[in-house]
Amino acid sequence: MNKLNQFYMSIIFTGIVLIIVALVSVLFDRKKSWDFDKRIDEKKQELLELISDAEEMVNELNRISDYIVTQVNAKSDELRQSLRECESKLKEINSRVCFDANNDVTTEKETDIKSIIIENKNSGDFSAEQTDNVLDDNNNEKGIPVKAKYREVLQLAEKGLTDTEIAKRLNIGKGEIQLILELNR
C-alpha cells in the first residue's frame, strides 16, 4: 500500500505541477496580450496625433492658397484697371492726333499733346527718355523735327523694318516707335 500511496502521490504532485505550469503559462499569455494592447493603444495615439498634424497642415495650406488667390485677383483687378486707363489715354491721344494724306501729324492743339506727354511721363506710362525726346524735338531744332520723324518712322515701317531697327536707325525709343505706329493705324 505504501507503494500505491507513493504512486498516487506522484500522480497528484505531477498534476499539481502541470496545473501550476498551466497557470503560469496563462498568466504569461495574459501579460503578453496586455502588453500588446498597450502597444496598440500607443500606436493609435501616435496615429491620431499624426492625423491631427496633417489636418492642421491641410488647413494652413488652404489658408495660404486662399491668400494667394486673393492677392492674385487683386493684382489682376489692378492690372485691368491700369489697362483701361491706358486704353482711355490712347483713345484720347488718338482723338487729338491724326495723320493727313502726306502722313504729316496734325493736331488740334500742340500744347494739349505736350501736356498729355508730360502727364504720361509723370505717371510712369512712358520712359522719361521717350517723353524728353518728343518734348525736345518740339521745343528746339536739335534733332529731326517731330513731323519729319513721324513720317520717317512710317516710311521705314512700310519698308519692313522692325521697331528695334527703326529705333536704332533714328536714335529714338522703341516705345515711341510703337506709339507712332499704333497712332497711324
Question: Model confidence over 114-156: pLDDT tens digits?
Answer: 555 556 555 555 554 554 555 444 444 444 566 788 888 899 9
Cβ atoms of residues 182 and 136 within 8 Å: no
> What's residue 28's pLDDT?
93
**Would you list the DSSP string of 70-122?**
HHHHHHHHHHHHHHHHHHHHHHHHHHHEEE-TT--EEES-HHHHHHHHHHHHH
Q: How far apart are the first and last CA of the chain?
A: 135
Query: What are the residue ranges in the chain where pLDDT is below 50?
Result: 99-110, 128, 131, 135-143
pLDDT of 50 reads 94
- Please report, as a single letter, which amino acid is at residue 137: D
Contact 131, 121 (CB under 8 A): yes
User: 0.75 cut: is pTM over it?
Assistant: no
pLDDT at 46: 95
Q: What is the pLDDT of residue 43?
A: 94
Which pLDDT does position 151 carry in this prediction? 86
d(Cα 92, Cα 5) in Å, to the nearest integer? 129
